[in-house]
Amino acid sequence: MGTLYLDAFSGISGDMFIGALLDLGVDFEQFKQELAKLGVTGYTLSQKREAKSNIYGTNFDVILPHEKDHGFVEDHHHAHHHHGRHLQEILDLISHSELSAWVKEKSSAVFNEIAQAEAVVHHMPLTEVHFHEVGALDSIVDIVGCCIALELLQVDRVECSALADGSGFIQVAHGQMPVPVPAVMQMRVGTEIPIKARPEVHTELITPTGMGLVKVLVDDFGSLPETMTPLKIGYGFGKRDTGGFNALRTVLFEKKN
């Protein structure tokens, strides 16, 4: 068992997190076998080792037969227009799967956090929150897959730097949203999760999926551990054009005695 440190100098998303864990050595075939226990089909997974700024890392992606829908919450009356699901459908899917108890618990908790934040932001009951960015198949795979990869790495503690986010506004299905996006800000309520702005980056760096994963999985926030021995470093690349090096760096440390 070991400690994982997330160096989130360019924010965090589900695919960056999984890419970084694969880069640390999670076996891709074993990862896919575990994910198959979810009982969901209709996607393929891509793992590419590539260089950005002459630094090698892993680019992970969930490939769907239809174009990804990157809107946010949609009222349930419009659900038939989108490839989306309600919270309870997702929780039932996870609960009835053959995944481990730990993966079920953590991934369900992440979905609950995101749904509660979206319910507040969009002023609707939790039961009516309709996921189509987070509940779309790619994000279900991202959230459950992240928990699977952590379990395969035998990580029992996760620490994290302050999260970096961009500034300004992003354009989504319903118009403009400020950065950090409202669901990310809402998930920060009642916590001491540190977020620092990067004013030179004019896009979102922390996705609701990334924030949900951080809120549920991270045990402590602070600077890089000074006294533990690093075993391996991994980089997971993001998809945003930030004008700079867009990656999540992960450091795997030996477990403290």
Give tens-digit pLDDT for 213-257: 999 999 999 999 998 999 999 999 999 888 899 999 999 998 765
Least confident of 18-22, 31-35, 172-176: 172-176
Q: What is the mean pLDDT of the chain?
A: 89
Strand ranges, E, within the chain:
2-7, 44-52, 55-63, 85-86, 130-131, 155-160, 163-165, 169-172, 175-178, 195-197, 220-221, 230-237, 247-254
pTM above threshold 0.85: yes
Distance between CA atoms of residues 109 and 200, nearest Å? 33
Distance between CA atoms of residues 86 and 125, nearest Å? 12
pLDDT band at 132 (very low <50, low <70, confident <90, very high): low
Nearest to 95 by CA among 14, 28, 38: 38
What are the φ and ψ backbone dihedral angles of 146, each rounded to 5 degrees? -65, -45
Number of domains, the chain? 1
Q: Between 256 and 166, where is the model more confident?
A: 166
Burial class (CB in 10 A: 0-12, 13-18, 19+), 126: middle
Residue 140, SS3 per DSSP: helix
pLDDT(82) > 50 = no
**Mean pLDDT across the stretch 107-127?**
94
> Which domain range does residue 201 map to?
2-254
Between helices 137-152 and 28-36, what is the axis angle to 10°? 120
pLDDT over 90, % of the chain: 76
Predicted confidence at residue 73, as pLDDT, reads: 39
**Mean pLDDT across the stretch 1-13?**
95
Predicted confidence at residue 137, as pLDDT, reads: 83
Q: Where are the alpha helices (DSSP H) in 155-217?
A: 182-188, 208-217
The predicted-structure confidence for 23-71, as pLDDT tens digits, reads as follows 999 999 999 999 999 988 888 999 999 999 999 999 999 988 764 444 4
**Mean pLDDT across the stretch 68-97?**
63
* Angle at the Cα of 95 from the Cα atoms of 183 and 106, rounded to 5 degrees: 50
Distance between CA atoms of residues 132 and 125, nearest Å? 16
Predicted confidence at residue 74, as pLDDT, reads: 35
First to last CA, the chain: 11
37: left (phi over 0), alpha (psi -120 to 50) or beta: alpha
